[in-house]
Structure 1
């Protein structure tokens, strides 16, 4: 192989949030990954900026949450303005910005895309991975050899890259897998012949990032303005900045005669500010210093017809779904695509899982994308519609908008994402965890460690380290009958035909025990050794020593505090299976569908 040819496990094309997230997750899992981007430098300002509560949890699971929380602005309250007297606007209400009751972080974080990308770039650099730029792909050839396509360790994808810096013109990369995260106009998607299905709306919006000078009392809250002069949204940002989304009418823009598209060269940021000032009336809004960033867009809602080809080339992020940005979903949906794909690719590359596991990426994330588009159609129509007034009784009423805001809260926050039944999501025994819905992420809750009564948030104990977490709710083991059930379970998962810890690579499991007993009564050594691989892995559903946190966990999940249950949490934090302690064969059956058994089993 010449110096202009190379091999790699995973080639990522596009270094936006979705691509960087995938590169970070794969590199952290030890996968040989390369990422290329056509931009000579990373994003410096503007672009996507909102992080939803579930995505904060995901950042935390990769060890990136603290920096995000430190650098970003937090949005806790939303305000609503509607037509008032004298042709201006007045506030008609305030509410919690996040309406999802199970959110661990009941707020949004706003931070410009360049800073968010840095949160990935810095640890990637420490792991020896740099974004190669400026580089564009010019050819992608996927082998038709079935033998190569079925061999997870083969390199059936050949990608030709063109270097734009003049050091070398072209190189050829042979990859096992390729992920296209190259945006809404994705070259990877078009090269694969994958279509985007959906439609363009008539809604035209402008965006400006400014340091505001305003007497608007809610300038530091997320604020939805329905004005007689058009709609506007305020998104407070880091460093005293705000982002304004400004609805534009046909009279505010000019269109290209030939294409019929908005001619962006005929409008600028100062004109956008003039439109915003009308929507703010009677409040004033100006900017201090330069306008940091601005753009214009027409809302389109489209989903790719497929998210992968032969489970060898995948697309993620804007490459496979586009929608309006005002609900703050784009970057979140994109990075969670990568979160879903990373652990699946890792286990296939390590030889732990069958390639069929990769089919679940499209199954889960395309359904989510379609749900997102349905949500966005309703949301953007409500936001872009004219407000109800005495003269326009058919307009959008404040009550309708507020009801939608609250109704869609779980979905928009990300905590309500629910993956449908599949090989990874088996809801047969949903009744054993009535409040922890199978197919949703593990609910946050504080438990205390049995050995020292130290409180821990359960999500922090279940990081995105590609391992399956086996949570054994052992119930009340101070009762001899229950302790015998637990001992039998421990014996069966390590010995005999249902011993899944022996049947599959034991390194991919992380076992935890959670007792319903009290700290005064339970010793961590009471739990069988197989269910406490380390002294720290025994938890109690009790309060801390000062009763400030913890307790009520069995009730929160809807698990019987006497008899317990087994909860299997996937590496991405979503619950895949719940069974009784007696059903060890169901656990084996669950994993047997997509995991490869060890040669000794």
Structure 2
């Protein structure tokens, strides 16, 4: 992709983020809260004026695992202030009778999390929250700024300013260059970054089209403030979602028969078909905020990175239908996975090779989503999946319910995992009964010393690009000797000691000790010493929720490493032998 003559001297920064949607904003936000002088080291650009781009529509739903990650970034509470918290679902057959176990029923069973609901908030409002948080850290989204060219000088070493981006001010037409160490393409399905670097976008688009329309409505649907499916004989499996601020989204299949009936399909036509789609129920639009027609398809970029310095995230590297409501969730998972890793590399705390784990971890989960989406999108248009081998006369609505139920743990995000490897998700010692590396770290209730005030593990392990060694020390009356031996070994570790006791030049590691019982003083409870690694102490609740959920025998104890993004890095029995294993784990990617 060629560029025209530029003016103005090149600006040098650490990271250029292209795309001002949720994926780009979350990536920039993670970097801004962990890098020094973010205002001069991070630049985020968006080619659209947000007053135009901020129209209603687009993505709406955040599932529990995404909400958990945003909670660890300090953003979820603000989103919850505005959201519609959807805990109820319903499915209606063609005659308007309620049917159980179909459609979105899985959403009522998203447990083992404090965020046990679908956080429904239109993308417009989410972006406002993210931009505000970013501004507070000194980084402003530059709108009306388009990327026109990208060049990588591979003769320069990795982690130097080897990327040159040409940007254009849409108002003035002025072109200028920015040199950066890393460029993040979060610029959507028609990504300029992906196209500029000639990255193939494998997959296809189908002939299926869907309509989505948002507005304020009147209806006699019995449960209008829910996530609802209506099994229409003419418009497929119709989506009905209660939105924030009293709105409603309706989505339906735009079949060839429907399309042929309209020489021009405009807002009036979209409303007319929506009214027909929800029959036998009645519908009246008081206001339309947004509507669209789009083609259903699935595509994945051939690679998620180029030359170890340009990375794609979100729709720029994978697109699919909105059938499973996973688009923004998957993009935010990309952003969170990449953000903390890039922060550690930029701060000189991790080897640049750590960034290789981004695609290695994210691609398998994207491919799982694409597989589910291919089936779900066809079933929502009343067609059986292409690879269907069952009864050819099966009811697509019934099969859809089965597929959605099968995908439930993945869709909620609570079952998403990363495969064990030799870098971040390592099995180092036998750990029977403990949660395996690469799995989600569950949120559990804890109590603060003294006040016994309730808190949560996720709140005490914020995503600041820091790893947490969590020592579940069990019952002190039984495990004291083992705990003392572990702490002695930790304090004797030349590699770990300075990293976990507050050294100014420490590695990004913090410690939390969780005894199974409470006491009048943590010092007495821990046998006359402070917490492991000089960190913090939180007591388990009387029901021993933390120990039980993490599979820890209170008579033995255990040690976990929690990654910055809330997945488990490794799990170990509590013993002096755990310390060499911890050294092995952290030496695999951190630098001292």
TM over 0.5: yes
Corresponding position: 1:402 with 2:394: no
Task: Give the 5 Å matches for 1:26-37.
Answer: 26-30=31-35, 31=38, 32-37=41-46
Corresponding position: 1:318 with 2:328: no
- Kindly provide the CA deviation profile for residues 547-594 of structure 1, in whole angstroms up to 9, marking residues without a partner as x: xxx533211111111111110001111101011222211111111111
Match of 2:213 in 1: 208
- Kindly provide the CA deviation profile for residues 411-449 of structure 1, in whole angstroms up to 9, marking residues without a partner as x: 111111101112100135573443x34212210110222
Match of 1:11 in 2: 16
Count matched residues: 564
Task: Give the 5 Å matches for 1:2-401.
Answer: 3-30=8-35, 31=38, 32-41=41-50, 42-84=53-95, 89-93=96-100, 95=105, 97-145=107-155, 148-150=156-158, 152=159, 154-166=160-172, 169-231=174-236, 232-253=238-259, 266-289=264-287, 291-385=288-382, 394-396=393-395, 398-401=397-400
1:303 match: secondary structure = strand
- Kindly provide the CA deviation profile for residues 347-373 of structure 1, in whole angstroms up to 9, marking residues without a partner as x: 101100001100001111111111110
Match of 2:426 in 1: 426
Corresponding position: 1:557 with 2:550: yes
8 Å contact kept, 1:430–1:438: no
C-alpha displacement of 1:45: 1.5
Judged with a 3 Å threshold, the aligned counterparts in structure 2 of structure 1 residues 395 and 502 are, in CA distance, closer, same or farther, namely closer
Residue 586 of structure 1: which of 553, 556, 581 is its match? 581
Give the Cα separation in 2 of the matches to 1:98 and 1:324.
22
Moved more, 105-114 or 269-278: 269-278
Give the Cα separation in 2 of the matches to 1:249 and 1:579.
55
Give the Cα separation in 2 of the matches to 1:502 and 1:74.
40
2:11 match: secondary structure = strand
2:17 match: secondary structure = strand
C-alpha displacement of 1:380: 1.7
Judged with a 3 Å threshold, the aligned counterparts in structure 2 of structure 1 residues 273 and 160 are, in CA distance, closer, same or farther, namely same
State the superposition RMSD in angstroms.
2.4
8 Å contact kept, 2:90–2:229: yes
8 Å contact kept, 1:449–1:540: yes
- Kindly provide the CA deviation profile for residues 122-147 of structure 1, in whole angstroms up to 9, marking residues without a partner as x: 121222211112111121110121xx
Give the Cα separation in 1 of the matches to 2:25 and 2:361.
21
8 Å contact kept, 1:470–1:567: yes
Give the Cα separation in 2 of the matches to 1:199 and 1:444.
39
1:586 match: secondary structure = helix
Give the Cα separation in 2 of the matches to 1:475 and 1:20.
41
8 Å contact kept, 2:110–2:412: yes
Corresponding position: 1:528 with 2:521: no
Give the Cα separation in 1 of the matches to 2:253 and 2:7.
54
2:181 match: secondary structure = strand
C-alpha displacement of 1:397: 5.2
- Kindly provide the CA deviation profile for residues 142-199 of structure 1, in whole angstroms up to 9, marking residues without a partner as x: 0121xx233x2x1000011111111x61111000100001100001011111111122
Match of 1:541 in 2: 540
Give the Cα separation in 2 of the matches to 1:517 and 1:245.
51
Alignment TM-score, normalising by the size of structure 2: 0.90
8 Å contact kept, 1:14–1:37: yes
Give the Cα separation in 2 of the matches to 1:277 and 1:46.
19
Give the Cα separation in 1 of the matches to 2:235 and 2:55.
30
C-alpha displacement of 1:99: 2.5
Give the Cα separation in 2 of the matches to 1:217 and 1:417.
34
2:341 match: secondary structure = helix
- Kindly provide the CA deviation profile for residues 6-46 of structure 1, in whole angstroms up to 9, marking residues without a partner as x: 01100001101100111111111124210011102241311
Give the Cα separation in 1 of the matches to 2:240 and 2:47.
32
Give the Cα separation in 2 of the matches to 1:338 and 1:469.
20
Alignment TM-score, normalising by the size of structure 1: 0.89
2:328 match: secondary structure = helix
8 Å contact kept, 2:474–2:514: yes
Give the Cα separation in 1 of the matches to 2:527 and 2:279.
68
Structure 1: tracts of 5 or more residues without a match = 256-262, 544-549
Give the Cα separation in 1 of the matches to 2:106 and 2:180.
47
1:572 match: secondary structure = coil
Corresponding position: 1:595 with 2:585: no
2:440 match: secondary structure = coil
